[in-house]
């Protein structure tokens, strides 16, 4: 697989008012992102509410997304689990329906050691490494943090092609860029620090903000990956209020409100996520206006 660069949207999963997955709405979002310049679509990750979809729904979201994209852009299928066997099964399904790569998160809740993390990802690579694997380090969600040495060990494993580094730690990102193989992709998973990571030599951004500002995020990533700090920061300054306010409550709660406000999908989420507290409406709406998404 050719290295994916640019804006990778961490796509929100649309639900109907009754809580069922809105598959026609998902197809519309895929088409809209392609039209707006999104470089890759990531499905059923954190922002896609993967913890609250069933295995059957998880697989169907991947299948529908792949079918709708129809190779116009790559699909990065979220296949992570805190059971190695389950992660492998999801990856096998994603491979079978034609996903372009898989996103594999550090196992959560059971807190594996660094060796446990290494063996987890190595086993996935041995079973499904022909579907390129992007690691996902997000200790704020998983508690377990994948250390630099572990990432570098895994970068030597066949089939593991990159990492989504969502710590916002630019020093760590610089060490990764310095020490990892040149063909190992390093993506930001943190919108506020994404420009810095890409200007240091990173390859793209797996973005929450791209759900509502895909064109701007694509243009930001193109500029940053090319080393055009002035242009990248001009766009980033406009998006910073969005980056901040989309996390005024747990992601994707504010995002779902913003998407509903813009007419992109409904606000429905599944418990234990609940609609955004009304006290945050003015500040999220103000961020939408500052970014030019509302007039």
Per annotation, catalytic residue among 136, 187, 230, 244: 136
Q: Any binding-site annotation on 47?
A: yes
Closest by alpha carbon to 120, among 170, 84, 168, 148?
84
Q: Any binding-site annotation on 206?
A: yes
Q: Is 280 a catalytic residue?
A: no
HEC sequence for the chain: CCCCCEEEEECCCCECCCCCECHHHHHHHHHHHHHCCCCEEEECCCCCCHHHCCHHHHHHHHHHHHHHHCCCCCEEEECCCCCHHHHHHHHHHHHHHCCCEEEEECCCCCCCCHHHHHHHHHHHHHHHCCCCEEEEECHHHHCCCCCHHHHHHHCCCCCEEEEEECCCCHHHHHHHHHHCCCCCEEEECCHHHHHHHHHCCCCEEEECHHHCCHHHHHHHHHHHHCCCHHHHHHHHHHHHHHHHHCCCCCCCHHHHHHHHHCCCCCCCCCCCCCCCCHHHHHHHHHHHHHCCCCC
Per annotation, catalytic residue among 23, 164, 187, 256: 164
Q: Is 187 a catalytic residue?
A: no
Which residue numbers belong to the known binding site? Answer: 47, 206
Which residue numbers belong to the known binding site for pyruvate? Answer: 47, 206
Active site residues: 136, 164
């Amino acid at each position: 697989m050719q290295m994916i660069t640019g804006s990778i949207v961490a796509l929100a999963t649309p639900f109907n008012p009754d809580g069922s997955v809105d598959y026609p709405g998902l197809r519309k979002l895929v088409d809209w992102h392609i039209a707006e310049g999104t470089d890759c679509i990531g499905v059923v990750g954190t922002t896609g509410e993967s913890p609250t979809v069933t295995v059957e729904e998880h697989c169907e979201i991947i299948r529908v997304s792949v079918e709708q994209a129809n190779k116009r852009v790559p699909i990065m299928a979220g296949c992570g689990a805190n059971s190695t066997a389950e992660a492998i099964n999801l990856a096998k399904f994603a491979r079978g329906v034609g996903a372009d790569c898989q996103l594999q998160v550090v196992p959560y809740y059971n807190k594996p050691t660094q060796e446990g993390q290494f063996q987890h990802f190595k086993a996935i690579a041995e079973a499904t490494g022909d579907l390129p694997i992007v690691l996902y380090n997000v200790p704020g969600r998983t508690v377990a943090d994948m250390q630099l040495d572990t990432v570098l060990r895994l970068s030597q494993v066949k089939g593991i092609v990159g990492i989504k580094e969502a710590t916002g730690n630019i020093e760590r990102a610089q060490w990764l860029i310095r020490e990892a193989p040149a063909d190992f992709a390093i993506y930001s998973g943190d919108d506020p620090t994404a420009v810095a990571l890409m200007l240091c030599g990173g390859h793209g951004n797996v973005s929450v903000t791209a759900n509502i500002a895909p064109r701007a995020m694509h243009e930001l990533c193109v500029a940053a990956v090319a080393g055009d700090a002035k242009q990248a920061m001009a766009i980033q300054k406009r998006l910073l209020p969005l980056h901040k306010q989309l996390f005024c409550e747990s992601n994707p709660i504010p995002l779902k409100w913003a998407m509903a406000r813009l007419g992109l999908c409904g606000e429905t989420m599944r418990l234990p996520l609940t609609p955004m507290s009304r006290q945050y409406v003015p500040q999220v709406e103000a961020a939408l206006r500052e970014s030019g998404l509302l007039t």
